[in-house]
Amino acid sequence: MLRGLPASIIAHAAVLSASYLTFPYWSSSSRTYATDIQAVDVSFAEIGEITNIAPRIEPEEESAPPEPEEPEELPEEDPIEEELPESDQDVTNIDEPAADAEPEDVLPDFEAETPDEPEETPEPQPEPDLTPKPPRDPLSDFLNQSESTFKSEIETRRKRPEPTPVPAEEPPQTALRNAPQPVDSRNRRGAGERNGNIARIEAILYSRIFPCWDGVADLPYPERLNVRMKLELNQNGTIAELTLVEPRRRPVGSSPMGTAIDRALRAVRKCAPYNLPIDEYENWREGAVNLGPAFTPTNPR
């Protein structure tokens, strides 16, 4: 056995050397491919979970801003009609600005070249399958779907990274101690520890977000300015995703609702990261944050 090993190594080396030297001269017709592909276990990670950093546009990569497409119009030299006041009038002339600040020029868009939105190409219609299919069994379909979902969930849990250590910005215990105690039984979905824990999480989040939100009391018709958001958190308390639920998007232009949405999103972002008990991550992985006069407070003060 031990004697055979050097011989085997030498033989393999010889074959490999010969292959290396003769490889360029092989014809395409004589090329062969390995068929025994070795399976390599690869685990995928969510890019969003590890690279939550917005790309910064480096100056050297920045191309020169494009010139405005349309030539800028010269503000009209608005010659004031220099009529002298009538002699019997107690009026002196006023120096009107020679040229108003209008018309407004067009500032080139920030992105030097904004690619057009790719047009959605319709998915190719699958060829119609003319072969007769066996009648579908609803129970079988349901069970197939269940099995698939179950496997997927098991796989997801297996791949989920270990909890990352929470930055020690503020001990969770302090937040817990300072948090107002929830009294809203609406959120206690049934008795039990689990819902009690959720209520505790809500109290912590309330105490963190509350001072960061400017409210809408100073805006016109504040009773109409209610914003619902969905908040998804990473295990280290940073925001994985924050999305508008209602309204679904910010209205175009300047408006009280636009300002209310800006303030709501900013409040949640500004107060992050949220230091919450890691062992209760499932209780605060995602949830709703609703800011506005219409929402009964989670924790009335």
Measured from the CB atom, the residue of 8 and 149 that comes closer to another protein is 149
CB of 123 to another protein, least distance (A): 26
Neighbours of 202 (CB within 10 A): 21
Residue labelled with tokens 């969905």: 230
| Binding residues for another protein restricted to 54-73, rule: CB under 8 A | 54, 56-59, 62, 65, 72
Nearer CB in complex with another protein: 12/160 = 160
Q: Which of 125, 218, 248, 249 binds another protein (CB under 8 A)?
A: 218
Question: Whole-angstrom Cα distance, residue 237 to residue 166?
Answer: 7
Q: Is 179 in the site for another protein (CB under 8 A)?
A: no
60 token code pair: 């050297």
Q: Which of 225, 294, 227 is nearest to 255 (CA)?
A: 225
Site for another protein in 184-203 (CB under 8 A): 187, 194, 197-198, 201-202
Q: Write the single-letter amino acid at 54.
A: A
Q: Is 83 in the site for another protein (CB under 8 A)?
A: yes
With CB under 8 A as the contact rule, the residue among 9, 15, 143, 245 that binds another protein is: 143
Among 97, 118, 122, 138, binds another protein (CB under 8 A): 97
216 binds another protein (CB under 8 A): yes
Sequence-ordered list of residues with C-beta below 8 angstroms from that of 44, at least 6 positions apart, any chain: 159
Which one of residues 11, 14, 18, 106 is an interface residue with another protein (CB under 8 A)?
A: 106
Helix, strand or coil for residue 27? coil
Residues sharing a CB contact under 8 Å with residue 203, sequence separation 6 or more, in sequence order: 176, 179, 180, 181, 182, 298, 299
Minimum CB separation of residue 185 from another protein in Å reads 13
- Point out which residues pair with 227 in neighbouring strands: 291
At 69, phi and psi to the nearest 5?
-70, -40
Q: Which residues contact 178 (CB under 8 A, 6 or more apart)?
A: 207
- Can you tell me which of 86, 162, 193, 279 binds another protein, judged by CB under 8 A? 86
DSSP three-state, residue 287? strand
The answer to the question of residue 160 lying near another protein (CB under 8 A) is no
Q: Rounded distance, CA 111 to CA 13, Å?
A: 57
| Residues touching another protein, count (CB under 8 A) | 102
Residues 30-59 that bind another protein (CB under 8 A): 54, 56-59
Q: Is 259 in the site for another protein (CB under 8 A)?
A: yes
